[in-house]
A and B are shown apart, each in its own frame.
Chain A
Amino acid sequence: MAHNTGPVLELAGLSRSFVSREGVLRRRERIVRAVSGVDLAVAPGETLGLVGESGCGKSTLARMAIGLLPPSAGTVRLGGLDPWDGASAVRKRLPRLAQMIFQDPYSSLNPRLPVGWTVAEGLRAAGGLSASQRRERVAELLAQVGLAPEHARRFPHQFSGGQRQRVAIARALALAPELIVCDEPVSALDVSVQAQVINLLADLKARHGLAYLFISHDLAVVGHLSDRVAVMYLGRIVELAAADALYARAAHPYTKALLAAVPGLDPGRRRPAALAGETPSPAAVPSGCAFHPRCDLAEPRCAAQSPALTEIAPGHFARCLRLI
């Protein structure tokens, strides 16, 4: 499966800002730093989880990773290629390298087209298959995600949310990509159906050696599917480690607070609220360590000095002055 031995996805110094206009007359311009200096790599067949609270930059990072949004600074490499290269050979290769699944399967499927047509979109664009070969491939793809061939003729509104997400997964699989970027793929689903889709993603990975960049605000979901997990706060990666290490030995104060805030299923162990205050706006990122206004362990230097993401144990990285 792997055509190259290097990472399927490599992000280096990746940053993205937006100009947002505010105030009654929308005259006040503010710079929103959605993503700041992210370095990450996804190996072939690996699932890299990305967690963080709303607005921390996850979707912006995902859209840059897949070549949908140009970075303000830094580089994206998909299978070694630059998605902004512009050469037609690169543009043709990209859909076979990476695909994306979105949170809301309804808005990502064309409501006026039968889903079979949508699933076959990439196949048509890539060419090389006859109409009947395409139909066969669509039936095969639908079977892989647990749908029947006759579902190809139905329209998106005739499916449940979980089934629509299956259709979106089938579309993403059509060209047998090496990487699928999943942006909150199960967040809109009910728990009973969410578990079906999580198991499906795990099975597809095992069967096809797929790599995922798996994004969610739900730490339990991410932990379930990921080999490694990156934690994001205000546009920066603050911790990165193997999933078991991160859940057992979280080192960064923000990761610890996030884990402690997940309501557990044991009524005998009720926990107090873990973290005070709310995440500041990415248009006003605090100085020094961006987490310092909410951090219990903050020292005076935390407001002035900006910690670097540092390896604190083999393969375990954290961005905190006290851990360096």
Chain B
Amino acid sequence: MGQTLLRVEGLSTVFATPTGPLTAVDGVDLTVSRGEVVAVVGESGCGKTMLALSILGLVPPPGRIVSGRAALGGVDVLALPESRRRQVRGKRAAMIFQEPMTALNPVLTIGEQVAEPLRVHAGASRRESLAAAEAMLARVGLPDPGRQLGSYPHELSGGQRQRVMIAMALMLGPELLIADEPTTALDVTVQGQILALMLDLARDAGTAILLVTHNLGVVAQTADRVAVMYAGRLVEEARVDTFFQGPAHPYSRGLLASLPRLDDPGRRLTPIPGTVPSLSALPTGCHFHPRCGEAFAPCADNAPPLFELPGGGQARCWLHGA
């Protein structure tokens, strides 16, 4: 892959709660190269959305980034004053959310919303920006884009709204697109359409994608590399081809064994025992140790670092310690 576009280092985000601080993102390191598709995968509550929001400095209160950097093209987004950060978010990086209805403004037309980035960040006129918006809506496959410019979000289906979100996000040709579960709310046939569209447009423009998902099938079908999160920490990072041949971390292996598969319907599933721990009551040492079938002496008391793997990639597990 090419040159590094995004370099996240030691990023931690903490929420103040009545029962004490809760670390939603715990010292995450992650890189994305230009044009690369990196998937962040993990179960509910493991910190995927907070990681995505933290990278753009969008953490909602009472959350706070307590340490780390997120450098986009060498510039630490998190060290910038808010006004400059907003510029970065407009031009160089864009975000797509899981539920497009909450991300779109219900009282503005589709046209106004898709045209807005061009007016605000590129100083285009109303006419110019609406014409560009119509062209963009055509590219994302919205039927009858000229007429839809005047539609409101509630008049569109879920899949069409997500097409509009993609159009908005790509309007200024960002270098990085962060997509948080962009297809989780959609039917499987529409999911395929939206993923294909997002990948095609990004590839044409050389845009890199950080794709947040809980669906390993989506990872296999779209990503170049995968980062697995568990309880706020990144526990494995690998190229997708090596990952799906056999992941290195016991949690990743457990996830794959838990999945019902179309090609092997009769097989008895092998679930991971227990449940995902609450971030306010995390186990000591390796956060995964109470559920891990391979836990051994050091695991309960010592938190493993990320170990480099011989075939590339990294795993946060003592099994891979030298």
Contact = CB atoms under 8 A, between A and B. Distances in A.
A262 B193 contact: no
A259 B262 contact: yes
Nearest to A55: B187
A83 interface: no
A114 to B, nearest CB: 20
A279 B260 CA distance: 26
Interface stretch (A123-131, A137-145, A192-200): A192-200
B261 interface: yes
Contacts of A275: 189, 192-193
Contacts of B124: none
Interface string B254-265: 111111111101
A279 B187 contact: yes
A265 B268 contact: no
B111 to A, nearest CB: 21
Nearest to A189: B44
Contacts of B216: 191, 265
Contacts of A223: 260, 262, 265
B269 interface: yes
B241 A268 contact: yes
Contacts of B220: 263-267
Nearest to B43: A190
Contacts of A263: 191-192, 195, 215, 217-218, 220-221
B265 A262 contact: no
A244 interface: yes
Contacts of B221: 263-264, 267, 270-271
A13 B191 CA distance: 33
Given A262-B188, A262-B217, A263-B218, A191 B157 contact: no
A199 B268 contact: yes
A266 B223 CA distance: 12
B214 A190 contact: yes
A191 B216 CA distance: 10
A21 interface: no
Interface in A58-103: none
A53 interface: yes
B283 to A, nearest CB: 15
B193 A273 contact: yes
A164 to B, nearest CB: 11
A262 B191 CA distance: 9
Contacts of B196: 272-273
B172 interface: no
B261 to A, nearest CB: 6
Nearest to B239: A267
A162 B257 CA distance: 18
A324 interface: no
A220 interface: yes
B254 A190 contact: no
B275 interface: yes
B244 A261 contact: no
Contact of A267 (B159, B240, B258, B261): B240
Contacts of A195: 257-260, 269-272
Nearest to A259: B262
Interface string B176-191: 0000000000011111
Nearest to A219: B262
A155 interface: no
A276 B194 CA distance: 11
Contact of B261 (A162, A193, A220): A220
Contacts of B261: 220, 265
A265 B259 contact: yes
Contacts of B268: 199, 202
B319 interface: no
Interface in B152-206: 157, 159-160, 187-193, 195-196
Given A53-B188, A198-B269, A279-B187, A192 B255 contact: yes
B53 interface: no
A247 interface: yes
A261 B262 contact: no
B260 A220 contact: yes
B258 A194 contact: yes
B241 A267 contact: yes
B262 A247 contact: yes
A275 B189 CA distance: 6
Nearest to A265: B220
Contact of B189 (A191, A198, A257): A257
Contact of B187 (A199, A217, A271, A276): A217
Interface in A229-287: 243-244, 247, 257-259, 261-268, 270-276, 278-279
A258 B191 CA distance: 11
Nearest to A260: B192
B276 interface: yes
23 contacts: A191-B258, A192-B254, A192-B255, A192-B275, A195-B260, A195-B269, A221-B260, A223-B265, A224-B266, A247-B265, A257-B189, A259-B262, A264-B217, A264-B262, A264-B263, A265-B217, A265-B261, A267-B220, A267-B223, A267-B244, A273-B192, A273-B193, A275-B192
Given A195-B260, A195-B272, A268-B241, 4 more contacts: A191-B258, A199-B268, A243-B265, A274-B192
Question: Which A-B residue pairs are the 10 nearest by beta carbons?
Answer: A263-B217, A195-B271, A195-B258, A223-B265, A192-B272, A190-B43, A53-B187, A195-B269, A273-B192, A224-B260
